[in-house]
Structure 1
Amino acid sequence: MLSRVAERIYWAARYLERAESTARLVSVYDSLLFDLPRSFNISWFNLIIINSGTELFHERYRVQDERNVVKFTLADDTNPSSMLSSLLMVRENIRTARDVLPAEAWELVNELRLFAKDNIQQGINRSGRHAFLEGIVEGCQGINGLLSGTMSRDPAWNFLRLGRNLERADMTTRLLDAGAAVLLSTDEGDSTSVDQLVWGNVLRSASADMPYRRTMRTAVNGPDVANFLLNDQYFPRSVRYCLERIVSSASELPHTGKQHRPIKLKLPQYTIEEDEHLGQNFRDHLNDVQLKLMDVHDCICGNWFLHD
């Protein structure tokens, strides 16, 4: 397979996962609006900080309110990580790799992008946001289901898995960061009553509430949720699971003529104590994990994409 085709498949998978995960990330905050006490003030701007978009946001908007943050995150075409921008890039990368992907994938991607574009105002406005975000998540899952059910387990499939799992691991850390950011803005005295609501919403946004209960067999709490989403070996959105799939996919791909760097699984060490308040130290750890994932991306690019 030509490296440029492999790279397009890799990026199609990343952008598809990014579109879905962006919808999940906004969903965390959207759900908390209904669950938290009215007196609790959620800073929507945390979503911009979590996605490293502060500078670009300030170039476009003066006010850091809910509407501007949601518009920038979901719809702004000057934001390369917005949901609409991600879906456009899925379409472009699949269009140029159609020879090795199922024909139905092209049709589903076009349908999803048109749905998102035609209904984006529903996502920006609070009243219809939940249904819109659910539609995006379901559409992305439908495309991933088609690819999983119809693709031969050849190099194209493994490049797809590399992109999907790397992006998924990264966005899982950002979901955790979103929860921690909300709790950091809570008065210490209120944190116990709010903790379960926040982490319960994080689990639901990752479709992890049932797997968490079956595995952890304990009430929802920050340390256990963090351990589950970072370290569980069976849940497909945990960072550990995603990294193990990355290593597995990489091992199935041929080495290139250049010096081949093995993809290393080891992440920065951080012990989450049972009674820990997941504050700034935990957020710093999540940032370290994201930097490690960037190293994995660089390794993938160096091994397979930077030649022809």
Structure 2
Amino acid sequence: MLSRVAENIYWLARYIERAEGTARLLSVNSNLLLDLPRSTKLGWTEIIAITGNADLFDELYSNHDESSVLSFICGDQRYPGSIIRSLAAARENLRTTRDVIPREIWEEINQLYLSVRDQVESGITPRKRDAFLTRVIRSCQTVNGLIEGTLSYTQARTFLMLGRQLERADMITRIIDVRSGNLLPRSPGELTPFENIQWMSVLKSLSGYQMYRQHVRLRIRGPDVLSFLLQDRQFPRAVGTCLERFANALLTLPRHDRVLNEVETCRQHLAAADIPLLASEPERLHAFVDDIQLDFIELHDALAATYFASVHESPADNSQSQTA
């Protein structure tokens, strides 16, 4: 397979997963809105900080309310990590590789992009928030289902798997990082009763609440949730599972030693994590997430140097890996 085609397919998967993960990131607050008393005020700008784009947001928006955050993350063309920009980039990468990807996948991604573009143009208001986020998440899952059901087990599928699993692991850590933000009031009398609810919202945003109850069989506790989402090797949206699937796909490619070493380094960092301490101290959790995301950057760089080194131009902003 040509390195340019491999890279475009890899980024196609990353952008689809990024759009879904970004919608899930916003859904953390949506779930909290349903579970918390109306008197509890949620923060929204902390989600901007978690994406690492607070400076750009401050440059573009004067208000830090929910509507501004939704506009920025969902539909702002000036923000490279917005849902609309991610889908546009996925669509462009797929357009250049349509000869190796089944037509059904192109049709679904194209329809999703056009639908989201129309909704963005009409405005993503708080009232339309949940329906919009659900639409993006389910459509991205539909794309992944079509990939599983229609694409042969070739190198094209391998690079799709690599892109999906690496981006999914990165977005999972960002959703976990919501827990380290000041989403809830910080006075002890207000925060303590809702800590477990906040962990529950993280699970719900990853569609992991039911699987957590089946596997862990304990009430919602920060350390147990964090261990489940970071280290579990059975739940599809756990970082440990993503890295295992990434490694398994990598083994089917030649010259994989350097990249596989980076995967093992990341696995070791996850295994050595002091989960109870991270769950109890948001600042330490945030620092740990930053370190893991740096591991992901090094993993991507090793992959790119091994398989994409001959590619010097990018048709769809492929160089913009979302980093903290």
TM-score range, shorter chain: over 0.9
Which residue identity lines up with residue 220 of structure 1 in the other structure? I
The verdict on how the C-alpha distance between 1:263 and 1:128 changes in structure 2, with shifts beyond 3 A counting, is same
**Structural mapping, 1:162-177, within 5 Å:** 162-177=162-177
Q: Whole-Å Cα distance in 2 between the matches of residues 180 and 123 of structure 1?
A: 30
Residue aligning to 1:53: 53
Give 1:49 shift: 0.7
Contact 2:87 2:113 in 1 (8 A): yes
Which residue identity lines up with residue 266 of structure 1 in the other structure? T
Contact 1:230 1:239 in 2 (8 A): yes
TM-score (norm 2): 0.90
Q: Whole-Å Cα distance in 2 between the matches of residues 78 and 275 of structure 1?
A: 34
Contact 1:180 1:283 in 2 (8 A): yes
Contact 1:223 1:278 in 2 (8 A): no
For structure 2, list consecutive stretches of 5 or more residues without a partner in the other structure.
Answer: 312-324
Q: Whole-Å Cα distance in 2 between the matches of residues 275 and 47 of structure 1?
A: 19
* Structure 1 residue corresponding to 2:294, chosen from 291, 294, 303: 291
Contact 2:232 2:241 in 1 (8 A): yes
Residue aligning to 1:279: 282
State the secondary structure of the residue aligned to 2:127.
Answer: coil
Per-residue deviation, residues 61-120 of structure 1 (Å, max 9, x unmatched): 122221111110000001010000000001000000111111111100011011111123
Contact 2:66 2:126 in 1 (8 A): no
Per-residue deviation, residues 129-174 of structure 1 (Å, max 9, x unmatched): 1111111111000000000111111111110011000000000001
Residue aligning to 1:304: 307
Which residue identity lines up with residue 135 of structure 2 in the other structure? G
Contact 2:43 2:183 in 1 (8 A): no
State the secondary structure of the residue aligned to 2:43.
Answer: coil
Q: Whole-Å Cα distance in 2 between the matches of residues 73 and 22 of structure 1?
A: 8
State the secondary structure of the residue aligned to 2:126.
Answer: coil
Residue aligning to 1:118: 118
| Aligned residues: CA RMSD | 1.9
Residue aligning to 2:78: 78
Give 1:189 shift: 3.1
Q: Whole-Å Cα distance in 2 between the matches of residues 235 and 248 of structure 1?
A: 16
Q: Whole-Å Cα distance in 1 between the matches of residues 106 and 67 of structure 2?
A: 32
TM-score (norm 1): 0.94
Alignment of 1:266 with 2:302, yes or no, is: no
Equivalent pairs counted in the alignment come to: 306
Per-residue deviation, residues 172-220 of structure 1 (Å, max 9, x unmatched): 0011111231467432233331012111111111010111001110011
Contact 1:158 1:250 in 2 (8 A): yes
Which residue identity lines up with residue 275 of structure 2 in the other structure? I
State the secondary structure of the residue aligned to 2:55.
Answer: helix
Q: Whole-Å Cα distance in 2 between the matches of residues 150 and 226 of structure 1?
A: 35
Residue aligning to 1:158: 158
Residue aligning to 2:132: 132
Which residue identity lines up with residue 271 of structure 1 in the other structure? D
Q: Whole-Å Cα distance in 1 between the matches of residues 284 and 124 of structure 2?
A: 33
Residue aligning to 1:29: 29
Q: Whole-Å Cα distance in 1 between the matches of residues 18 and 57 of structure 2?
A: 18
Contact 2:23 2:133 in 1 (8 A): yes
Alignment of 1:186 with 2:191, yes or no, is: no
Q: Whole-Å Cα distance in 2 between the matches of residues 27 and 11 of structure 1?
A: 24
State the secondary structure of the residue aligned to 1:228.
Answer: helix
